[in-house]
Amino acid sequence: MPAYIIRRILILIPTLLGVSVIVFLMLHMTPGDPAELLLGERATEETLNAMREHLGLNQPLYIQYGMFLKRLMKGDLGETIWTRQKVWIEIKQRFPATIELSMVALCLSCFFGILFGIISAPKQYSISDYLSMLGALAGVSMPIFWLGLIFMLIFSLNLGWLPISGRLGIDINLEIITNFYILDAVLTRNWVALKDVLWHIIMPAVTLSTIPMAIVARMTRSAMLDVLRQDYIKTAKAKGLSNFSVTFKHALRNALIPVVTTVGLQTGVLLGGAILTETIFAWPGMGKWIYDAVMQRDYMVIQGGTLFIAALFVVINLCVDVLYSIINPRISIQ
């Protein structure tokens, strides 16, 4: 196990290097001049050239990339063009908001996705099976930005049940300890703030969870159908075990292997989909931060944020692989 983990960590280096090259080239191939965005369209050519020299944009691409790689080796992701703040500091400030949103969405998608898959599989081609799969198809088909706007229209503007944007109401005081608002509210025993935080996160989390929930439900149903046809399941039923015992104690654990793989992949999808969700709901996380950086051609933010998410995605996949041997002892990590 330790040797396997070390190998996977070593693979992280060329993976991030490849991601950095692709992101760097794509950024510099897209139209737009950060110096012109900073100084405005009426800036003189001399002023623009001075700003490009200050930002290092007048150097050849290979020199710019070499400078970025040199800083990266030292753990420095550079500075944002607009605020001159360290990118790593910005990530530490915004990453908790994205993780909090993604984890709540992941919990919703796993719980309801696995539940719908378990309900559908034992009663294949029944009304409950058709309804569950119809809901899964609808969840995959609906774009996140459209669903988010519909939720805002119904639950915020028409019914007034949920706040339309943000993480916390302006009239709520919360002592920030970890920048994870749910955790901070629990640690400080601020139950009023906890209720307000949960109220704010419901709409964006449900919006973000729809596609992963649908995919997990379809995968759970498919895996459960394969397992329920196995001989040992028929033997368990012949021994007189209840359907609940057969489904949850015998079938579900063996069906979880492909489901865990799907959940691991969907975690990366949640981090990527958070860009749209955070932009729609004005959620102050990394997704909205990177979106604003794309609009402003803030190269350092885009490169640093993308590399951070790529590294996180690789680590999540590693955790999923290790989790295989815990769920099913017959699988050996070599």
Are the C-beta atoms of residues 246 and 235 closer than 8 Å to each other?
no
Q: Spell out the per-residue pLDDT of the chain, length 334, in tens.
A: 677 677 777 777 787 788 778 877 777 777 666 666 666 667 777 777 787 777 677 777 778 788 778 877 777 777 787 777 888 888 888 888 888 888 898 888 888 888 888 888 777 777 877 787 787 777 777 888 888 888 888 988 888 888 888 888 888 888 888 888 898 899 988 889 899 899 999 999 988 888 888 888 888 888 888 887 777 777 777 777 777 777 777 777 777 777 877 777 777 777 766 778 888 888 888 888 888 887 777 777 887 888 888 778 777 777 777 776 666 655 555 5
Domain 90-285: assigned CATH number: 1.10.3720.10
Tokens for 251, please give them: 């079938």
Among residues 263, 271, 283, 274, which one has the least CA distance to residue 145? 274
Are the C-beta atoms of residues 145 and 138 closer than 8 Å to each other?
no
Are the C-beta atoms of residues 117 and 216 closer than 8 Å to each other?
yes
Go through 70-106 and write b for each residue having 16 or more CB atoms within 10 A of its CB, e for each that does not. ebbeeeebbbbbbeeebbeebbeebbbbbbbbbebbb
- Is the whole-model pTM more than 0.95? no
- Alpha-carbon dihedral 292, 297, 299, 301, rounded to 10 degrees: -10
Helix (H, G, I), strand (E, B) or coil at 329: coil
Are the C-beta atoms of residues 298 and 34 closer than 8 Å to each other?
yes
Among residues 271, 258, 315, 326, which one has the least CA distance to residue 114? 258
What are the boundaries of each domain within the chain? 90-285
By CB neighbour count within 10 A (0-12 exposed, 13-18 middle, 19+ buried), where does 172 fall?
Answer: middle
Cα 79 to its chain centre, rounded Å, is 24
Q: How far apart are the first and last CA of the chain?
A: 7
Rg (CA), the chain: 24
**242 residue type, one letter:** S
Among residues 267, 282, 272, 266, which one has the least CA distance to residue 140? 266
**Distance (Å, whole) CA 77 – CA 301:** 8
